[in-house]
Every structure is written in structure tokens, then in C-alpha cells.
Amino acid sequence: MILTINCGSSSLKYQLHAPDLSHVIASGLIARIGEPEGTTDHWVGHRGEHHRRAIPDHRAAFALMMENLTNPEYDVIECPGAITAIGHRAVHGGAIFFGSVLVDDAVMAALRACATFAPLHNPCNIIGIEEAQRMFPGVPNVVVFDTAFHQTIPERAHAYALPYELTQKHGIRRYGFHGTSCRYVSRSAAELLNRPLDSLSMVVCHLGNGVTLDAVKGGQSIDTSIGFGTFGGVPMGTRSGDFDPAIIFHLVREAGLSLTEIEDICYTKSGLLGLSGLSNDMREVMAAADAGNDRCQLAIDVFVYQIRKTIGAYAAAMGGIDALVFTAGIGENSARVRAMICEDLGFLGISIDARANAIARGGHPNISAAGARVATLVVPTDEERMIAIDTAALTAAASARQPGQDLAFALAAQ
């Protein structure tokens, strides 16, 4: 069985996959880590349980996951020995990691070095790996990076026009995020279209609480909306998206805000929440807009406008597109947002069928209008499955390894 672990800044998500990856045996979410009251949810098939209790840190969360997985009531695993490999999500692999890797000391050192780029996330990812090594001695660990898929972005698209020596010295460039989701979804889209991935130019719209638009040409990411930090690009639930950096200097000089306060504003008080003044949750923002709240309507309009603009930019970057793919919470569930985004994009070849769009979640992923040049698809993302696939592939390759063969970057060129 393969265990996947996703340690976020205040949560731990886990899934236990059957050895042939045919299904998920058990899964769970331990949330609000570090808050006075945390929550644990554990599911086995249709059975599940929910608890509230204090979860002081990620090590305590890991212990809770172990308790859930070995709970005799569910008969999931009798002992840790049943788990043959563990896959971990890591947010930031810097410019070092081009693909998923088997964990060894060098990988751990590089992961620690990358923590400077993702100070909220990488340290939690590292704790997850350390705990897995402690609880499952001898079991291989694989780490899958959110940034790795974007390492194919050419320098003209990832370089910022700042003094070159400065950017080189400090590792400043576009890194991108949600790469695991974009990789999974672009593969699934090609399968659904029954066309080779390397023949397709697509724009993937990962629209969740975090938002990434990704230009995927021939299966490779060639540009992506999130940049150096995790708040650039298109507005998100609480993150600002791109804005003129002169605003930062203005706020320091004129409003007397500190850099720490501005950073907090950009990450946690902006986006849908900042514009609406109400919520980071698209469902709540939409309901309030429908009830006449103008600021909520403005939040939706800004969100949709920036996405449309970016789709146009990526169509230009790729010389046209074959597929437009919606995924994640808003992308998968909101027919209304999809319709707003696609409206009047006929000049790009994008045209959707209103009825197909309305029922897209019912197993009808293709929502294109008849005769549309671009296939518009709704494809559920599954980052955990992508992690499990990489973990199975790398551990199988490791067991077939010739002496002296370096596997650390085995998946680099995928």
C-alpha cells in the first residue's frame, strides 16, 4: 500500500492507496493544527468519523494519522509494515528539483535550503518526511514538488527584468505553484480527448482557494501565473494576485505600514476577501452579489476579468490553444464562473454549450459547443493520486536499479 502525505501550514491530509493504485482505501484530513481546537476527519469507504481536539503541532497530527490508520475498528492496516512506500507533497523545490525524487540525505538538505522560498510550507513538509522516516524505518519516501512541473518554463518567461546579478544571487525568478495539479489535469485532459499530450496546447485554470493559470504546450509548462511568492498572478481567495509594486512603497511611506503588515495583507487579507470585505469563499461572495452587494459583484468581476486576460496572454504565448481546462473547487463546481470566463472568447475558438456546462460534474467533462475549435473541459484534479503515481514509479525503478545508478533525479525529465 502507498501512503500519501500532504502537510500544509496548518493541516495534514493523507490517503492510503491500494498497491496497484486502483482505489483509495482510507483518507483523512487533520486541520487547524496549532489552534485551540483542531479537527480530524477519517474516512474508510463510506464510513467516516469527525472529532474536535487540540492538535498542538504537525508531529501530533502525524501521531493522530497513525492512530486512525491502525484503528482496529476499521481494519485498514494492522501494522506500519503494510505500507510499502510514502509519497509527500512539498511546496517548493527551488530551481533544484525538476521532478519527483526518492528522499535521501542530499534531498533533505536541498529541501531545507528551499525553505527560504516557502517559509510557511516547506518546514511542515520536512516534518512530515522526518516523522515518516521515524515511524516507518526502511520504507522509501518520495517527494513531489509543486514547483517542479514549471521548471520547463523558458528563461524569457521566468526571468524578471530586475538587475540580473541580483536575481541570480538571490534565486529570484518565476517558480509557479500548483504544478502537481496542473500536471495531473493536463494528462487527464489529453486522455479524455484521446489525443497525444505532446500534440496539445492547453490553458489549465486551477481555480480554487489558490489560483494558477498554466500554459501547457506539448505536455510542458511554458508559463504560469503565480510567480516568485505564492500571491502573484490572478486574485485568489485571500491572496492579491499581481499588483504594481509601487503600491508597496506608497503604503510604507504614506500609510506607515510595515513590510510585515503589507506581506500579511497580500497573503491573507486580499483577493476575493479583500475586495468583497465579506469572504474568501466564492459561494458566499456569489450569494451576496446576487442579493445586491456591489463589492461582492466587483470581487467576482475582477476575478473573472484577470482570468480572461491571462487566457488571452497564454493563447498568444502558445500561438493559439487546443484545450481550455477547468479544475479545483471553483473550476470544477461553478458553471456560472466558467460561463463568465468563456463569454465572448469565440475569437480564440472558445465556445461552450450552456447545457453541457450546467451538468459538467455529472461525468460529462467536455463542455464545448458543437463545432468549437477549442475543447473546453472540466477535469477534477487529484494531487494525491499524482503523488501516488510518482511514488509507485520511483520506488519500482529503485528496486530495479543497477548498482551505481543515480535515481535521485530519475523523474526529472518527465
Identify the three-state secondary structure at position 255.
coil
Minimal distance in Å, beta carbon 139 to ligand AMP? 30
* 311 annotated among ligand-binding-site residues: no
Q: Which residue in the set 187, 281, 302, 393 belongs to the binding site for ligand AMP (CB under 6 A)?
A: 281
Minimum Å distance from CB 154 to ligand AMP?
28
Work out whether 330 is an interface residue with ligand AMP (CB under 6 A).
Answer: yes
β-bridge mates for residue 144, sequence order:
89
Q: Which residue has the cell 465556445?
A: 351
Quote the CA–CA distance of 393 and 291 in Å, as a whole number.
50
Which of 333, 366, 368, 376 touches ligand AMP by CB under 6 A?
Answer: 333
Give, as ranges, the residues between 216 and 275 that touch ligand AMP (CB under 6 A). Answer: 237
Question: Which one, of 51, 72, 68, lies nearest residue 5 by Cα?
Answer: 68
Residue in 53, 283, 355, 373 binding ligand AMP, rule: CB under 6 A: 283
Q: What are phi and psi of 340, to 5 degrees?
A: -65, -40
Q: How many CA atoms lie within 13 A of 394 on its CB side?
A: 31
141 is in an annotated binding site: no
In angstroms, the CA 211 to CA 205 distance is: 8
3-state SS, 39-72, equals EEEEEECCEEEEEEECCCCHHHHHHHHHHHHCCC
Tally the C-alpha atoms within 13 A of residue 31's C-alpha that lie toward its C-beta: 7
Residue 34 touches ligand AMP, criterion: CB under 6 A: no
Q: Rounded to whole angstroms, how far apart are CA atoms 336 and 325?
A: 15
Residue 63: CB minimum distance to ligand AMP, A: 26
* # residues near ligand AMP by CB under 6 A: 11
Q: Binding residue per annotation — 332?
A: yes
267 SS3 class: helix
**CA dihedral of residues 295, 301, 302, 303 (deg, nearest 10):** 110
H or E segment to which residue 289 belongs: helix 282-290
Residue 235: strand, helix, or coil = coil
| Element housing 254 (H / E) | helix 246-254
Residue nearest to ligand AMP (CB): 329
HSE-up of 17 (CA within 13 Å, CB side)?
Answer: 23
* Cβ distance to ligand AMP smaller for residue 166 or 354: 354
Confirm whether residue 233 is marked as ligand binding.
no
Of 20, 41, 104, 146, the active-site residue reads: 146
Residues in 100-129 at the binding interface with ligand AMP, rule: CB under 6 A: none
Minimal distance, residue 361 CB to ligand AMP, in Å: 9
- Which of residues 2 and 282 has its CB atom nearest to ligand AMP in the complex? 282
Cell of 161: 527584468
- Compute and round to an integer the Cα radius of gyration of the chain: 22
- Annotated binding residue at 250? no
Distance CA 198, CA 270 (A): 37
Q: Is 208 in the site for ligand AMP (CB under 6 A)?
A: yes
Q: Which is nearer to ligand AMP, 99 or 232 (CB)?
A: 232
Identify which of residues 203 and 282 has a Cβ nearer to ligand AMP in the complex.
282
- Minimum distance between the CB of residue 208 and ligand AMP, rounded to whole angstroms? 2
Q: Is 146 a catalytic residue?
A: yes
CB of 289 to ligand AMP, least distance (A): 12
Is 281 assigned a ligand-binding role in the annotation? Answer: yes
Among 39, 209, 293, 414, binds ligand AMP (CB under 6 A): 209
Using the rule CB under 6 A, which residue among 329, 353, 407, 414 binds ligand AMP? 329
Nearest to 273 by CA among 380, 331, 264: 264
Q: Assign residue 312 a region: left if phi > 0, alpha if psi is -120 to 50, beta otherwise?
A: alpha
Choose the stretch contacting ligand AMP; rule: CB under 6 A; options: 35-43, 324-332, 385-393, 404-412: 324-332
Binding segment (CB under 6 A) for ligand AMP, from list 8-16, 49-57, 326-334, 369-377: 326-334
Identity of the residue, 14 or 97, whose beta carbon is nearer to ligand AMP in the bound complex: 14
Nearer to ligand AMP (CB atom), residue 139 or residue 358: 358
Residue 60 or 358: the one with the smaller Cβ distance to ligand AMP is: 358
CB 408 within 8 A of CB 106: yes
Consult the annotation and say whether 77 binds a ligand.
Answer: no
**Is residue 207 part of an annotated ligand binding site?**
yes
In the annotated binding site for Mg(2+), the residues are 6, 383
Catalytic positions, please? 146
What residues line the site for ligand AMP (CB under 6 A)?
208-209, 237, 281-283, 328-330, 333-334
In the annotated binding site for substrate, the residues are 89
